[in-house]
């Protein structure tokens, strides 16, 4: 089966698309030549425009404004560093505007925000270009059936880009194909949330997309359905989301036709095992394809240890709080929902790699060591993680390093290459899981808690935990520590244990705990358990900030107004009191309820639209 590479544009449309990409601002002016019907009014032209719209799914393109790590749809900075997953890391003065996002002191002139806004609206533009062009094709090369599918794909893509914008700014313009830039109506403003518009696009896409596709990177009916369910979750329409989620669980298949299922946890982060049955929608990445690394997962270019794999650049370091969250009760194997931060797991903060260190011996959720690189534990097949020598600067980053984006040493040659000639082995074929099946299960658990059955919600959480209990999917010790690519033993690398809520007939040996059932403990406990499970399952994947945001009562969530501020200020208070972690950045950080839940609208966009676009509350 041919791989669908969304970064490749067919030659017939290349010149026109290149002009479209270079527009100064999507909401300010017409890209010259973007509607050259003589060139594009045929199937080849439409296909080229569609591929161009797909190509921005990773949030990056050659010649874009800003740098790719500012705009990637993995949202490492906006979804994880701005939450409690990770620190920006590296040195304090490197990517200083990313540090301002971490400390909640970003302003409307922050140099990360305008490129993110512009690149996402460029994606909206490209989707709309397809929709505007289709009616102009009169040569019979596009059949009605094909046109229907292309429209559905384009509306999905438009919704995807608008969704990414809405997560960061909430109050963003919605631009459909009727909004052009030579008829005086480009200043459409941002009057409020656009969930209804996103939901309409996704509903239409879901209705007309096929169940399977010939290329694995193309969206199918079920992926659109999953995004629609996700939009309903953000819009707190649980009654609309739950039937979609139930259908996805019962009948959903990947674009290749494989029924959704959970796989070994680590297989979701390995370029060689991506696009598996858990991949509801995977944003594709490739290397060694003649693109000079541009088609790799370039949003995470900086996010490797500063030594070991790639040798650069020491950003995106997991937080102390995130690592602590994986502690479990020694008797039950369940998370310490309220007390996980009472003490820190043993770490090597301010302990040189040449000094003795003993890893934490307490009980842990096994997902920790697929989510956090920590000293004394095998780091994929790169060897025992040595600690401080792999951290560029522990002062603001701490002792931990990222791992989910990293390739295996044994596969380095085939899954990585230099990014644009300067970043060795920092372009990788490890595409981004925009939605995994675990997402679907945990959304279903949330919806059941709000409108349905606590027992069903518990079952979905335990389904996810049962995968974690599979010992064959744990991190194991090396057969020979001196030969890390020589294979692994069946001995767990740490003291792992997984328990279930209530009584659950899992297949992987987790511990049932009848007294800790959702029904016995009540709705508030069930909410806390599901939310904590999302943190464990999906940490370091760019979701956490937006989960906290949608749970906050300020936006209609179930946890009461100010919930997000309480969580993140509590997190900051913990981090600044970690011994030997003198982070000046975090000492100045404070999350302001009613402001910090959203990012400031770039001042350039307000100015370019003569004030039609308004600033978010609390920002100048």
- Determine the Cα–Cα distance for residues 27 and 42; give it in Å rounded to an integer: 27
Instruction: List pLDDT tens digits, range 245-278.
Output: 999 999 999 999 999 999 999 999 999 999 999 9
Instruction: List pLDDT tens digits, range 309-367.
Output: 998 999 999 999 999 999 999 999 999 999 999 999 999 999 999 999 999 999 999 99
* Whole-number pLDDT of residue 92: 84
- Smallest CA-to-CA distance from 408 within 396, 420, 425, 421 is with 425
pTM value is: 0.94
- At 476, the pLDDT band (50, 70, 90 cuts) reads very high
Burial of 590 (0-12, 13-18, 19+ CB in 10 A): middle
- At 38, the pLDDT band (50, 70, 90 cuts) reads low
Q: What does pLDDT average to over the chain?
A: 92
Domain residue ranges of the chain, discontinuous segments joined by +: 1-66+111-190
* Whole-number pLDDT of residue 547: 98
Number of other residues whose CB lies within 10 A of the CB of residue 251? 12
- Smallest CA-to-CA distance from 117 within 182, 24, 48, 202 is with 24
- At 16, the pLDDT band (50, 70, 90 cuts) reads very low
- Smallest CA-to-CA distance from 70 within 394, 408, 301 is with 301
pLDDT at 22 over 50: no
Average pLDDT (120-128) is: 96
Instruction: List pLDDT tens digits, range 83-118.
Output: 999 999 988 889 999 999 999 999 999 999 999 999
Instruction: List pLDDT tens digits, range 178-233.
Output: 986 554 455 688 989 999 999 999 999 999 999 999 999 999 999 999 999 999 99
* Whole-number pLDDT of residue 186: 57
Instruction: List pLDDT tens digits, range 561-611.
Output: 999 999 999 999 999 999 999 888 999 899 999 999 999 999 999 998 889
Token output for 320: 């102390």
* Whole-number pLDDT of residue 308: 87
8 A C-beta contact, residue 173 and residue 189: yes
pLDDT at 483 over 90: yes
Give the long-range contacts of residues 607-612, CB within 8 A, separation 24 or more: 608/24, 608/25, 608/27, 608/28, 609/27, 609/28, 609/186, 609/187, 609/189, 610/187, 612/187, 612/188, 612/189
Handedness of CA 233, 239, 241, 242 (dihedral sign): positive
* Whole-number pLDDT of residue 37: 54
């Amino acid at each position: 089966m041919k791989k669908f590479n969304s970064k490749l544009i067919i030659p017939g449309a290349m010149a026109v698309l290149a002009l479209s990409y270079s527009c100064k601002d999507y909401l300010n002016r017409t890209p010259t030549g973007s509607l050259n019907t003589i060139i594009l009014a045929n199937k080849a032209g439409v296909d080229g425009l569609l591929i161009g719209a797909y190509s921005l799914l990773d949030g990056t393109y050659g010649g874009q404004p800003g740098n790719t790590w500012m705009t990637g749809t993995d949202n490492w900075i906006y979804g994880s560093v701005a939450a409690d997953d990770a620190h920006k890391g590296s040195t304090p003065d490197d990517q200083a505007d990313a540090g301002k996002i971490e400390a909640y002191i970003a302003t409307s002139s922050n140099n990360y925000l305008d490129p993110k806004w512009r690149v996402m609206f460029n994606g909206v533009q490209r989707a709309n270009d397809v929709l505007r062009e289709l009616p102009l094709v009169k040569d019979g090369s596009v059949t009605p059936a094909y046109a229907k599918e292309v429209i559905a794909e384009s509306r999905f893509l438009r919704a995807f880009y608008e969704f990414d914008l809405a997560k960061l700014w909430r109050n963003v313009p919605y631009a459909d194909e009727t909004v052009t830039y030579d008829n005086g109506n480009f200043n459409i403003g941002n009057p409020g949330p656009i969930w209804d518009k996103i939901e309409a696009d996704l509903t239409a896409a879901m209705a007309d997309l096929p169940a399977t596709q010939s290329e694995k990177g193309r969206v199918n009916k079920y992926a659109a359905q999953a995004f629609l369910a996700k939009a309903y979750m953000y819009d707190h329409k649980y009654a609309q989301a739950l039937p979609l989620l139930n259908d996805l669980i019962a009948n959903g298949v990947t674009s290749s036709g494989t029924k959704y299922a959970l796989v070994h946890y680590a297989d979701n982060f390995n370029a060689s095992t991506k696009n598996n049955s858990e991949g509801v929608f995977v944003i594709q990445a490739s290397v060694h394809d003649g693109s000079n690394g541009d088609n790799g997962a370039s949003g995470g270019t900086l996010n490797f240890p500063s030594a070991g794999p790639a040798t650069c650049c020491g950003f995106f370091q997991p937080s102390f709080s995130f690592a602590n969250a994986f502690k479990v009760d020694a008797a039950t194997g369940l998370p310490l929902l309220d007390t996980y931060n009472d003490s820190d797991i043993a770490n090597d903060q301010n302990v040189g790699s040449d000094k003795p260190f003993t890893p934490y011996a307490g009980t842990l959720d096994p997902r920790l060591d697929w989510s956090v690189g920590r000293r004394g534990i095998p780091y994929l097949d790169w060897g025992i993680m040595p600690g401080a020598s792999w951290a560029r600067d522990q002062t603001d980053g701490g002792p931990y390093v990222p791992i989910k984006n990293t390739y295996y040493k044994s596969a380095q040659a085939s899954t990585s290459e230099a990014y644009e000639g300067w970043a060795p082995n920092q372009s990788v074929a490890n595409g981004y899981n925009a939605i995994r099946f675990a997402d679907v299960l945990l959304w279903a658990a949330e919806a059941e808690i709000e409108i349905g059955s606590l027992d069903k919600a518990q079952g979905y959480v335990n389904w996810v935990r049962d995968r974690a209990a599979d010992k064959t999917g744990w991190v194991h010790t090396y057969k020979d520590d001196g030969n890390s690519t020589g294979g692994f033993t069946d001995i767990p690398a740490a003291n792992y244990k997984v328990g279930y809520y209530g009584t659950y007939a899992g297949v992987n040996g987790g511990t049932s705990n009848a007294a800790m059932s959702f029904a016995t403990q009540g709705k508030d406990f069930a909410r806390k358990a599901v939310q904590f499970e999302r943190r464990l399952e999906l940490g370091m994947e760019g979701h956490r900030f937006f989960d906290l945001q949608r749970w906050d009562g300020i936006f209609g969530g179930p946890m009461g107004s100010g919930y997000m501020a309480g969580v993140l200020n509590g997190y900051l208070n913990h981090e600044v009191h970690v011994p030997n972690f003198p982070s000046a950045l975090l000492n100045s950080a404070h999350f302001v309820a009613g402001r910090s839940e959203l990012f400031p609208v770039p001042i350039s966009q307000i100015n370019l639209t003569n004030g039609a676009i308004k600033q978010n509350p609390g920002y100048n």
